[in-house]
A and B are shown apart, each in its own frame.
Chain A
Amino acid sequence: MFSAIGSGVGVHGDFQGLDGPHLAGDPCLVLTTDPKPRLRWTAELHERFVDAVTQLGGPDKATPKTIMRTMAVKGLTLYHLKSHLQKYRLGKQSCKDLPDNSKDASCLAESQDTDSSASSSSKIAQDLNDGYHVTEALRVQMEVQRRLHDQLEVQRRLQLRIEAQGKYLQSILEKACKVLNDQAAATAGLEAAREELSELAIKASNDSNGLVPVDALKVPSISELAVSLENKNPSNLPARFGDCSIDSCLTSNGSLVSPMGVASQAAAMKKRPRPLFGNGDSVPLEWMITNSG
């Protein structure tokens, strides 16, 4: 049924489909009898229309103005033609997908037109009108369906996108925590080394004349560290470091997060001992630091 309609005939959407009285004369316009006179696109009129359009090179090339001139029908306005042309074009579009049916339909239409008695032409017009209504309704329904389908598609895609982002954030969080823990573990190792060195320094200063009371300066805090290390709880180490009010490499800003990793921390460590080990024993100790770092 729809293929017949799809043969490219369109009509004004508000068409009543009444069998109103024909006005005499040909070519003439048939107007409906309802309060607002509307144009009835009879088969004849439509055929003229199709001829004109074909003459002008097809529905896409033809314009309402040119069709009007070509058709040369009295009383036909641009307004009528605009809407009829639009319907025709749309009909042509949907018709493209049904090539076989349209051929049958156009044959049907042609054969019907050649009979060309008043009753048959009005009957065809009637059928066509009904068909046009259905086309309209169908089109609207398709719009709604398409919209719903799109919205569902969007929802589905959104879910996938949210999932992807969530998965990524989870994984980057885990990796960041791992990096942090690795660094803490590395610093733990360094702190152990540092502890050893400070003990050596104490020994060294005790051996020497004890110019700098190194033990008074640093030992309490380092023993704190030693305690924490013995507790073997690496994740708590940063807390410990924070509690110590020494300006070790861990509370300062740059050194812990250097991209070069442990090597730079060792390098940073190198600077640290100077205030501590103020006497002449610093050189061999630094050498020991770099080796143990």
Chain B
Amino acid sequence: MAVCIAVIAKENYPLYIRSVPVQNELKFHYTVHTTLDVVEEKISAVGKAMADQRELYLGLLYPTEDYKVYPSHMIKNMAVTNSKVKFVIVVDSSNTSLRDNEIRSMFRKLHNSFTDVMCNPFYNPGDTIQSKAFDSMVSAMMVQAS
């Protein structure tokens, strides 16, 4: 389904990034990194209205010729702190059968899994994610495509 899945910290460094065609890894990194521009723009534009929404899906923000990049971001504990962790799912744009709500459910899964990672007392917020559970969940989302 997805070709690249990335979790990006508030400070915009990658907490987790994985892509399926390994030879294109660098390209995905560039793409995901550049997407942050649009995400930031969107977040700052939507601003406060965003906080009320439960769904933080930003929609297709950064389409390219080859890929569709769906970013989403997360506000954890909305009342207290914004973790401002961003999720990015890159989908091959030749994969036309993918519906919007499927992307949403992927994000939901990703979000839940990320929450589990955060709940791990041995996980230091801000560290790169090395959880096996998270990794296998991501793999599952990617394998479905091929």
Are A and B genuine complex partners? no
Which residues of B are interface residues toward A (Cβ below 8 A)? none
Which residues of A are interface residues toward B (Cβ below 8 A)? none
